[in-house]
Amino acid sequence: MWGCSALQYPVNTMSADIIIKNGTVLTMNEDKEVIQAGVVIIKGRKIVEVGSNDLLAAYSSKNVIDAAGGIVMPGMINTHTHVSMSVFRSLADDVPDRLNRYIFPLENKMVSKEMSYLGALHGSIEMAKSGVTTMVDMYLYEESAAEAVKEIGLRGIMTQNIIKYPTADGKDAQAKIDLAIEFVENYKDDELITPGFGPHAPHTVNREDLEKIKLLSEEYNLPVSMHVAETETELNDFKDNYGMTPVEYLDSIGILNERFIAAHAIFVTDSDITLMKARDIGVAHNMVANIKSAKGVAPALKMHDQGLRVGLGTDGPMSGNTLDIIGQMGYVAKLHKLANKDRSVMPPLKVVEMATMGGARAIHREDELGSLEKGKLADIAIIEVISANMVPMYSPYSALVYSANASNVDTVIVNGEIIVKDKVLLTYDEVKSRKMMLDFSKRVSAIADTL
Amino acid sequence: MWGCSALQYPVNTMSADIIIKNGTVLTMNEDKEVIQAGVVIIKGRKIVEVGSNDLLAAYSSKNVIDAAGGIVMPGMINTHTHVSMSVFRSLADDVPDRLNRYIFPLENKMVSKEMSYLGALHGSIEMAKSGVTTMVDMYLYEESAAEAVKEIGLRGIMTQNIIKYPTADGKDAQAKIDLAIEFVENYKDDELITPGFGPHAPHTVNREDLEKIKLLSEEYNLPVSMHVAETETELNDFKDNYGMTPVEYLDSIGILNERFIAAHAIFVTDSDITLMKARDIGVAHNMVANIKSAKGVAPALKMHDQGLRVGLGTDGPMSGNTLDIIGQMGYVAKLHKLANKDRSVMPPLKVVEMATMGGARAIHREDELGSLEKGKLADIAIIEVISANMVPMYSPYSALVYSANASNVDTVIVNGEIIVKDKVLLTYDEVKSRKMMLDFSKRVSAIADTL
């Protein structure tokens, strides 16, 4: 009324749906700009502004989140998982040849639509609470998994597993292709779920079925996710049988293109890498699962540095055991240093880049996801920096990669919706989901004892 | 009054100070017994009984902890750290030759009694909350660090750093030996703190000073902790200069014995391992720090299998960044599988053994620590199994090693005292310690910018 303030606030501020203030904002934009006391303005599904404190004068909202100095970053992208397998987590770890000896027999007895839904529900909760906002999944009865992912409020590229063996969800590959088509028809226009095709691996799907999948992916313009070059045996068998690497074999079918996401890619040659780049495929780098199974360290650093689209993935929770990307980051940083005998390679910034923009590029959605920039979808994680392991924080990238764990994640926003706040999931009753899981796990135990 | 119950409870139950009930008790005793719905009875500083539900009829206590199915395990032992360096965490990660180029200059400017205390206070809080109950530490002004460790309520084998270079706490090795003697005299009868001698490394302490330290350690019957065979350069230099490995060189001084704890031991030969076993020394295996610095995977599996006393360590928080042992366990399990190209080696049980009994053996205190057994000291961690990453739990060892993170630790008891309950530290105001750390870190930043 009387006098005047040195700071003139606009009389009419613009309204926002959510304002995040007081963050250490890792934009992950092209300049890798970090904004101290940073602000992110969200309207509807999108980020409308990212900047400094000054923005607080221009916008108002009923929903202001004080990040309290915490790290505000793009939601992490888990580029490869089998989320429903959370029901089997911690079962038969470290058994040699466990896929054939243990996992397939167990799945034949236990997998159902109910199981696929329940495992995806539980695993999505774990991802949501750890700051993962998008997953690329491949499993049986994938439509049931997609339903759960949507219920928790995550973004999912959900690919129906297609394999030549009889499985709980179909007697042959064609039965699973039919399931995929049905799923695709039901979900092709969904905002959060992108349905797709998940041929299991080059040696577990026949060539003619891969050709069908290639055509379907083209027809619907939907993604294909597939295990590629995961074992040395696979590489050697393809060389012996076809005179080609698995990557070359897939390329001979014409399935490698911008809709294709290759999981693992451990045993790839330099010329495979050149070919993968030329075909513009995405790559999911699953460090924890790959070394737990003693397979090896994929040349993901070389791929990334050569401009390939490399994101991070957890693999299924029976392989990597956890579904958070924060845990992967520490391994990715350290294993590439060890493999290259050079502590300066794979610095934290590069690892965080893989976890965010790298993942977005791997799924060819870098225009919408992977960084905090005006016009992008509002998929955001806030990591608190008050737990003892996060203090002090001279470098937010180092703190994230070398110190943080999944439980440091405080707030998570997907598609403009807050799904986790103050470490509490807002979209589902965790007590209920845990009870359902514990009940189901008793049935799993009974079957597992017979294997 | 009328009728009678099938279950007759004794009229006079024995009194206990603490009863833990309803736990998945990993005893880590010789038979590796796991007790479902298990009970641990604590009286004074000690465990008086470990067993099944039946014990609840025999004991009563005002302090009953319901573990709610959680994992009840021996407190973890961190066999090598520099806890005070938490003040420098996330600074200058991944800089080549950073010890000489960065850490020593920074320490010369920043280390003081105040810093040693503050860093140890903060780091002890992180360890306490993550289920570490005993640490083996080596740093400057170690008496100040010991004061903080005791204040938080942890057990510490605290060794005064002795190095030939001028440091903030003394101009030469003798000055630091004098500090060590003063500290030893003050703390030699302490219940939680065991003072000791921390010669930095074979190449950073002169032979005559190592001989003095050897005699002092004998005279006081107190431990020596030392970096040994941490780099390939160290190994090669000793071979070139003395025609001996670092381990052989130390043995020629007579310092390798049951009071000696060797940190790292990465570049050791098979005959070194035989010698280390013959001398009955302890070994601290610091996987995360060793691979982050691209040094290598120590042959800790071979050492353990040959009966050496191998525990796990974090190294300092400027090297390994975190101070919890749970985080180390996942790396230890996976890196040995990778190094041996065999997924079946280093199973979770063996890793948990290293984290508990292995650590107790490394410090030659396996009669008092490392397992939950009648007569042992009550150092216990309870890990909740309700967070999404811990559900379901078919194997508690797998869940601990492959799924758990430091934040899953719920309750921690040291020496019969509850120091963490429901994830809250009871022995210090965390808001206060965080504020002290943040204030100090501003001074560190100002100095770091000049290096």
Q: How confident is the model at residue A49 (pLDDT cuts 50, 70, 90)?
A: very high
Q: Looking at the partner chain, which of B96, B291, B438 has a beta carbon nearest the beta carbon of A335?
A: B291
Given an 8 Å threshold on Cβ–Cβ distance, is A386 in contact with B91? no
CB contact under 8 A, B388 and A430: yes
Query: Which is it for the CA torsion A224, A229, A234, A237, positive or negative?
Result: positive
Chain-chain contact of B122 with A391 (C-beta, under 8 angstroms):
yes
The domains of chain B, with CATH numbers, are 14-74+370-425 (2.30.40.10), 76-362 (3.20.20.140)
Q: Chain A closest CA to B254's CA: distance in Å?
A: 34
CA gap A180, B323 in Å, rounded: 47
Shortest CA gap B411–chain A (Å): 16
**Would the pTM of this model clear 0.90, i.e. be above it?**
yes
Quick check: A369 and A7 in contact, CB under 8 A? no
Q: How far does the CA of residue B293 sit from the closest CA of chain A (Å)?
A: 5
Nearest to A400 by CA among A451, A440, A347: A347
Whole-number mean pLDDT of chain A? 96
Contact residues, chain A, for B386 at CB < 8 Å: 434
Mean pLDDT of A162-184: 97
- Over residues B105-143, the pLDDT tens digits come to 999 999 999 999 999 999 999 999 999 999 999 999 999
Torsion of CA B121, B124, B125, B128, to 10 degrees: -160
Contact A403 B437 (CB under 8 A): no
**Mean pLDDT, residues A143-168:** 98
Distance, in angstroms, between A336 CA and closest chain B CA?
9
B334, B388, B391 ranked by CB distance to A129: nearest: B388
Contact B392 A126 (CB under 8 A): no
pLDDT tens digits, A94-123:
888 888 888 889 999 999 999 999 999 999
Chain A: closest CA distance from residue B416 (Å): 24
Query: How many CB atoms lie under 10 A from the CB of residue A219?
Result: 10
AA letter at A3: G
Q: Which residues of A touch B87 (CB under 8 A)?
A: 392
Which chain B residues are within 8 Å of A294, Cβ to Cβ? 337-338, 340-343
Tell me the chain A residues in contact with residue B406 when contact means C-beta distances shorter than 8 Å: 389, 405, 407
Tens of pLDDT, residue by residue, chain B (451 residues): 344 444 445 567 999 999 999 999 999 999 999 999 999 999 999 999 999 999 999 999 999 999 999 999 999 999 999 999 999 999 989 888 888 888 889 999 999 999 999 999 999 999 999 999 999 999 999 999 999 999 999 999 999 999 999 999 999 999 999 999 999 999 999 999 999 999 999 999 999 999 999 999 999 999 999 999 999 999 999 999 999 999 999 999 999 999 999 999 999 999 999 999 999 999 999 999 999 999 999 999 999 999 999 999 999 999 999 999 999 999 999 999 999 999 999 999 999 999 999 999 999 999 999 999 999 999 999 999 999 999 999 999 999 999 999 999 999 999 999 999 999 999 999 999 999 999 999 999 999 888 8
| Interchain CB contacts (distance < 8 Å): A and B | 189
Nearest to A337 among B294, B399, B407 (CB): B294
CB < 8 Å to A330, chain B = 288
Instruction: Report the distance separating Cα A105 and Cα A41, nearest Å.
Output: 50
Min distance B316 CA to chain A CA atoms (Å):
12
Cβ-based neighbours of B7, under 8 Å, separated by 6 or more = B57
pLDDT of residue A142: 98
**Tens-digit pLDDT profile for residues B71-115:** 999 999 999 999 999 999 999 898 888 888 888 899 999 999 999
Contact assignment for A405 to B402 by CB distance below 8 Å: no
What are the chain B neighbours of A438 within 8 Å (beta carbons)?
391-392
Indicate if the pLDDT at residue A12 is higher than 90: no
* pLDDT tens-digit readout, B146-197: 999 999 999 999 999 999 999 999 999 999 999 999 999 999 999 999 999 9
CB distance B90–A335 less than 8 Å?
Answer: no
Chain B CB contacts of A407 below 8 Å: 387, 405-408
Contact at CB, B334 and A288, closer than 8 angstroms: yes
Report how far apart, in Å, the C-alpha atoms of B23 and of each of B2, B41, B406 are. Answer: 35, 12, 18
Residue A1 has a pLDDT of: 39
User: CA nearest A85 in B: which residue?
Assistant: B392
Which residues contact residue A102 at a Cβ distance below 8 angstroms, ignoring those fewer than 6 apart? A92, A95, A451
Per-residue pLDDT at B2: 44
What is the predicted pLDDT for the residue at B4? 43
So what's the ipTM on this one?
Answer: 0.95
Provide the pLDDT for residue A197: 98
pLDDT at A217: 98
Contact A293 B343 (CB under 8 A): yes
What pLDDT digit, counting tens, does each position of A269-324 carry? 999 999 999 999 999 999 999 999 999 999 999 999 999 999 999 999 999 999 99
Q: What percent of chain A has pLDDT over 70?
A: 98
Distance from the Cα of B246 to chain A's closest Cα (Å) equals 22
Q: Environment class of residue B112 by beta-carbon count within 10 Å: exposed (0-12), middle (13-18) or buried (19+)? A: middle
Q: Which residues of B touch A331 (CB under 8 A)?
A: 331, 334
Among B340, B408, B441, whose Cβ lies nearest the Cβ of A392?
A: B441
Number of H helices, E strands in chain A: 17, 19
B290's enclosing H/E stretch is helix B287-292
Query: pLDDT at position A101, please?
Result: 84
What pLDDT score does A2 carry? 44
Element (H, E) at A198: strand A193-199
